[in-house]
Chain A
Amino acid sequence: MRVYVTDHDGKEHELEAMEGWRVMEVIRDWGLPIKAECGGACACATCHVFVDPEWQDKLYPATDEEEDMLDTVPDVEDNSRLSCQILMSDELDGLKVSLAPSAKPEAEVA
């Protein structure tokens, strides 16, 4: 299964994913820039992504915990999600997200 990730420069990357993996892990393990400093514990909001509107309704809604963490994202939008809280499954094969500026690792900020 695949995830399509648009990076900070607007370039789309097609990434191979496995069932049960967190989208954050897929992004990180393929080497795209994402801070993800808490490692997937829904505790830092630095794996923030924007979900393509066509895919928004196919995701499980954000939990209260995720909504609370999204409050600490300074560039939040209606389609904002934490990518560590999206688990890959057959239904999400082809998911499209783009990396949020607030989740850019420091080295990339320059």
Chain B
Amino acid sequence: MSEREIVTDAVIVGAGPVGLFAVFELGLLDIKCHLIDILDKPGGQCAELYPEKPIYDIPAFPEISGQELTDNLLKQAEPFGPTYHYNQMVTEIEKQEDGSFVVKTDDNITFKCKVVVIAAGGGSFQPKRPPVEGIEEYENKSVFYAVRRMEEFRDHDIVIVGGGDSALDWTLNLAPLAKSLTLVHRRDSFRAHTDSVNKMRALVEEGKINFQLGQIGSLEGENGQLSAINIKSKEGETSLPASRLLPFFGLTMKLGPVADWGLNLHENLINVDTEKFATSEDGIFAIGDINYYPGKLKLILSGFHEAALMAQAAKKIIHPDAKVVFQYTTSSTSLQKKLGVK
């Protein structure tokens, strides 16, 4: 893990469409940004949930996919040289005596900044937890949602659940070092690469791994150490010896630490005003799906509007002495210089 300190004007929490557009709006006003996202890529929901799906309500784009929208926003933000920090979550935001902020991530990066923009959408993407009683007490001890170190799995009775690429990839990777490995899926059909599925089937035929239809019924073990997993299927329940479980059901959004930052909330959303999109804490703004105000619509276009107004208010904090002159990109030579088109 790295331990670094970065000084910047603004930290944007979330690199989804609204966070990306905020870079553009802040950039026009000479504000430098760093963005932090828990995913390994920009785009937020657009990239994680529906990269291929068409979106029809972006002004001037009768139809655009989530990925194309993300790519265009990245290109639009590019002239302002933002820095992206992926695979990490903001854990703390601390206000300093001088009104600035210290923002910390779970990857040990510390940011010093004057303004924080929360553009965290529905929260952070985290693995879906199977609704199995008592699973929490096994998590990170014998139940894992990702493989960080393969050695943790050597000589274990491993059960992998799921039918996508993660489930298949780890079945193939862990098979050689497992004491035993069973892949459990609800049907004999997979949404993973055909090649991986064929390799998995070959291992089953050679007797090196097992495949079982069904789903997790209940867990057995003590002190966080699994000993067996009961698998429910049409044929009834069977018990599998297991000392490691890897459930792979994709990601879902969780609010996460946002709730701990001392901001006024409205049912898991951050209360803001509709002039500056400021939160209850001076210098912290919230834009996009994460905020709430009367009449709020969770639309990407609303988030874009919110980003533009937020930027004007952020400028007054970051460059308090600069005169705020409202300018258009079509006519202003200074804005065009910043965009690199003049």
Contact surface of A with B, Cβ cutoff 8 Å:
35, 37-39, 41, 43-46, 67-68, 70-76, 78, 101-102, 106-107
Contacts and interface: CB of A to CB of B under 8 A. Distances in A.
A107 B253 CA distance: 12
Interface of B: 45, 49-50, 53, 122-123, 128-132, 161-164, 185-187, 189-191, 215-216, 234, 247, 249-250, 252-255, 267-268, 298
Given A35-B252, A72-B164, A74-B131, A107 B267 contact: yes
A101 B249 CA distance: 14
B252 A71 contact: no
Given A43-B53, A74-B129, A68 B249 contact: no
B191 A71 contact: yes
24 contacts: A35-B252, A37-B122, A37-B253, A38-B50, A39-B298, A41-B49, A41-B53, A43-B49, A43-B50, A68-B191, A70-B186, A71-B164, A71-B186, A71-B190, A72-B249, A74-B128, A74-B129, A74-B215, A75-B130, A75-B215, A78-B234, A102-B130, A106-B268, A107-B267
B131 A76 contact: no
B45 A102 contact: no
Contacts of B45: 37-38
Given A39-B298, A72-B164, 18 more contacts: A37-B252, A37-B253, A38-B50, A41-B50, A41-B53, A43-B49, A43-B50, A43-B53, A67-B189, A70-B186, A71-B187, A73-B249, A74-B132, A74-B216, A74-B247, A106-B255, A106-B268, A107-B268
A100 to B, nearest CB: 9
B229 to A, nearest CB: 13
Contacts of B234: 78
A49 to B, nearest CB: 14
4 shortest interchain CB distances as A-B pairs = A74-B130, A72-B250, A101-B131, A68-B191
Contacts of A46: 252
B306 to A, nearest CB: 18
A72 B187 CA distance: 12
B34 to A, nearest CB: 26
B254 A71 contact: no
Contacts of B163: 71
A93 to B, nearest CB: 29
Contacts of B130: 74-75, 102
B49 A72 contact: no
B249 A74 contact: yes
* Residue in A41, A72, A76 whose Cβ sees the most chain B Cβ within 10 Å: A72
B15 to A, nearest CB: 18
Contacts of B53: 41, 43
Nearest to B189: A67
A72 B252 CA distance: 10
A72 to B, nearest CB: 4
B50 A71 contact: no
* Residue in B161, B185, B249, B268 whose Cβ sees the most chain A Cβ within 10 Å: B249
Nearest to B185: A71
A64 to B, nearest CB: 9
Contacts of B247: 74
B268 A45 contact: no
